[in-house]
Amino acid sequence: MSATATTASRWAFPALLLGNLALSFGPLLVRLADVAPVASAFWRMALGFPAVLLLALLTGIRRAPAASAWRWGALAGLFFAADLALWHLGIVRTSLANASLVSNAASFLLPLWGIVVLHQRPTRLAQGAIALAFVGTALLMGGSAEVSARHLVGDLLCFAAAILYTAYILVVDRLRGTLPPFPILALATGFGALALLPVAPFLSGGSFWPGDWTPLLLLALGSQVIGQGLIVFSVGHLPPLVVGLAFLTQPAISAAIGYARFGEVPGPWQAAGAALVAVALVLVRLPERRRMPPAARA
8-23 burial code (b ≥16 CB/10 A, e <16): bbeebbebbebbbbbb
Please give the angle made by the CA atoms of 124, 234 and 241, to the nearest 5 degrees: 20
Nearest to 85 by CA among 185, 192, 189: 192
Distance CA 151, CA 147 (A): 6
**pLDDT string in tens for the chain (298-residue length):** 555 555 557 788 888 889 988 988 898 899 899 999 999 999 999 999 999 999 888 876 767 778 888 999 999 999 999 999 999 999 888 777 677 777 776 666 667 677 777 667 777 777 777 788 778 767 755 554 555 666 678 878 888 898 898 889 889 888 877 888 888 889 999 999 999 999 999 988 888 999 999 999 999 999 989 988 888 788 767 877 777 777 777 777 776 776 777 665 666 776 777 678 777 766 766 655 444 443 333 3
Question: Tell me, what amino acid is at 256?
Answer: A
Locate all alpha helices (DSSP H) within the chain, ordered by sequence: 3-23, 26-32, 37-58, 67-91, 96-103, 106-116, 124-142, 152-175, 181-196, 214-219, 228-235, 240-246, 249-262, 268-291, 294-297
Domain residue limits, the chain: 3-297
For 241, the 3-state DSSP assignment is: helix
Q: What is the pLDDT of residue 132?
A: 81
For 113, the 3-state DSSP assignment is: helix
How much is the pTM?
A: 0.78
Q: What is the pLDDT of residue 295?
A: 36
Q: What is the pLDDT of residue 256?
A: 72
Q: What is the pLDDT of residue 118?
A: 67
CA 264 to chain centre: 24
